[in-house]
Homo-oligomer: A and B are copies of this chain.
Amino acid sequence: MPKTSAAVTQADYIKAYRIMLLSRVLEEKLASLYRAGMIKGGVFLGRGQEALSVSVGIHLHRGDIFAPLIRDQAGRLAFGDTVLDTLRTYLGSQLGSMRGRDGNIHRGRPRDGYYAMISHLGAMIPAVSGGLFARRLKGERGVVGATCIGDGGTSTGAFHEGLNAAAVEKLPLVVVIANNQYAYSTPNSRQYACADLLDKAAGYGVVGHKADGTNLLDCLQTLRRAVQNARGGGGPQLVVADLLRLVGHGEHDDGQYVDPKLKASPLGGDCLVIAEHHILEQKWATAEEHAVWRREVETEVNSTADRVRREPPPDPEEDDWAALSCPEYREQYATS
């Protein structure tokens, strides 16, 4: 494994950008389906966090482990999740990976290394660590596991216990903190007192990396370095990216509590727009080509949404209502 990471190429950048664009358009669709009452529960978007998220997913290989969190649509797509399964899960389609039993961001395909988050924040860190631990026991080499968390999530006991245990085992784990300045409505000043979340790295004995979450190139470079470090045996890597959530906590929330000064600051930049400008400036694509990209993803998203909306919902009569895999251990209750 090279100690210094290979440079991010134009092709890498464009590939990442196009996934970001797909993610953004897909999420806009999710928001509109939510407003139309077609998605129940909630919709939680990653607007403004696509550069960071895609940089995580894009550096993982088949065979790696990824446990994305709330705002990781871009990273999920980069890791191999599809528009189809995203829509199926949000709409609760029978054919989706969660078969309507769970929804929205709580989706994955654990057998493919794509873990399905539970809501309880921090919980995926030890789970990915355990997955990596198992791979090591099985003799697999060169595997990486990555998982994301928010500034708020760093306050959970699970974050602490999981990262510490991973550090003790020197597992190839990458923990990415999307420091988007708020946990729901709670600003960082009410969430932690350290000068920078990166200051936590030394306390766990893990390598720390800082990224500008609004800058795709910086995110790609940082994640490439972190993932390669982990893959090369450098133990857990803690990546802290500063950015701003450019949307409410969920689509039910207008996020009006967000400090206008933050919005006006560099943190408030939209990584997608910034990356688009970069591409145009660098003349890696023309405005026309870019328009084609956008049309392509819009077509994909819209046609997939139409398809999924015609798919059958889960049928309660068909469901086996089984929480256990072994049929002989399922309980019978004298209840209706």
Contact = CB atoms under 8 A, between A and B. Distances in A.
A189 B205 CA distance: 12
A126 B305 CA distance: 48
Interface residues of A, number: 28
Q: Main SS of chain A's interface residues? A: helix
A170 B333 CA distance: 52
A236 to B, nearest CB: 8
Contacts of A199: 202-203, 205
Interface in A110-132: none
A235 B170 contact: no
Give the oligomeric copy count. Answer: 2
A97 interface: no
A164 B186 CA distance: 15
B193 A206 contact: yes
Interface stretch (A15-23, A51-59, A153-161, A217-225): A153-161
A283 interface: no
A164 B189 CA distance: 12
A167 B155 contact: no
A4 B235 CA distance: 41
A189 B169 CA distance: 10
Nearest to A194: B205
A194 B190 contact: no
A286 B168 CA distance: 49
Contacts of A184: none
27 contacts: A155-B160, A156-B157, A156-B161, A157-B157, A157-B161, A159-B160, A160-B160, A164-B192, A167-B192, A167-B193, A168-B189, A168-B190, A168-B193, A170-B193, A192-B204, A192-B205, A193-B204, A193-B205, A193-B235, A194-B203, A194-B204, A194-B205, A195-B205, A199-B202, A199-B203, A200-B203, A202-B202
Given A164-B193, A199-B203, A203-B203, 20 more contacts: A155-B161, A155-B164, A156-B157, A157-B157, A157-B158, A160-B160, A160-B161, A164-B192, A167-B193, A167-B194, A168-B192, A170-B193, A192-B205, A193-B204, A193-B205, A193-B206, A193-B235, A195-B202, A202-B202, A203-B204
